């Protein structure tokens, strides 16, 4: 169940999503709070689990990630053993940024970060096609990143 948030909580979360390394004093100043009140509110949001952690985001181009590939995977069957096998294999592939079990004609959608088309070819042939439960693989390569964000919308509850 979503946590009940007031306007100040939402403002704190928006500011921290833009920059998780924002010092408490700057956050407090930005929101018109005392540092102790701000820190107490952030701690409550952390303790609730809503703030799941803090990360540093890298520029994909400068990190040598030249391509994003979206991969649609259909399994041979949906038996628990096949699903478990596939998911365990995917957890061990660092290029897989996201893996979603989905409804529809496919079973999983993956988001991969690769150097280039050759890197993806090696990954597909060397890892993805080697997972016994995989029946089909369809790939789509991103031509241009139009929008990419980690900021979640804070929807009213």
Q: Where are the domains of the chain?
A: 7-48, 67-141
CATH of domain 67-141: 3.30.70.920
* 3-state SS string for 64-115: CCCEEEEEEEEECCCCHHHHHHHHHHHHCCCCEEEEEECCCCCCEEEEEEEC
* pLDDT tens readout for residues 29-79: 999 999 999 999 999 999 999 999 999 999 999 999 999 999 999 999 999
Structure confidence at residue 157 (pLDDT): 62
What is the pLDDT at residue 87?
Answer: 98
Q: How far apart are alpha carbons 49 and 26 in whole angstroms?
A: 23
pTM of the model: 0.87
And the tokens for 14?
């928006």
In 3D space, the residue among 59, 56, 30, 60 whose CA is nearest the CA of residue 42 turns out to be: 30
- In the CATH scheme, what architecture does the domain 7-48 have? Orthogonal Bundle (1.10)
Contact at 8 Å (CB) between 89 and 131?
A: yes
Helices 7-18 and 35-48: crossing angle, nearest 10°?
80
pLDDT the model gives residue 138 = 98
CA–CA separation, 119 and 117 (whole Å)? 5
Q: Note the pLDDT of residue 14.
A: 95
Phi, psi of 96 (to 5 degrees): -80, 110
């Amino acid at each position: 169940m979503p946590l009940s948030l007031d306007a100040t909580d939402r403002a704190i979360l928006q500011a921290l999503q833009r920059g998780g390394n924002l010092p408490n004093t700057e956050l407090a100043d930005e929101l018109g709070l005392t540092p102790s009140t701000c820190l107490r509110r952030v701690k409550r949001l952390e303790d609730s689990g809503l703030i799941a952690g803090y990360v540093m985001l890298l520029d994909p181009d400068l990190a040598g990630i030249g391509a994003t590939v979206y991969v649609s995977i259909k399994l041979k069957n949906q038996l628990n053993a096949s699903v478990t096998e596939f998911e365990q294999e995917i957890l061990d592939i660092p290029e897989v940024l996201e893996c979603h079990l989905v409804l529809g004609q496919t079973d999983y959608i993956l988001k991969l970060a690769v150097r280039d088309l050759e890197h993806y070819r090696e990954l597909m042939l060397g890892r993805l096609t080697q997972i016994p439960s995989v029946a089909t693989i369809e790939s789509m390569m991103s031509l241009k990143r139009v929008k990419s964000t980690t900021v979640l919308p804070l929807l009213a509850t």
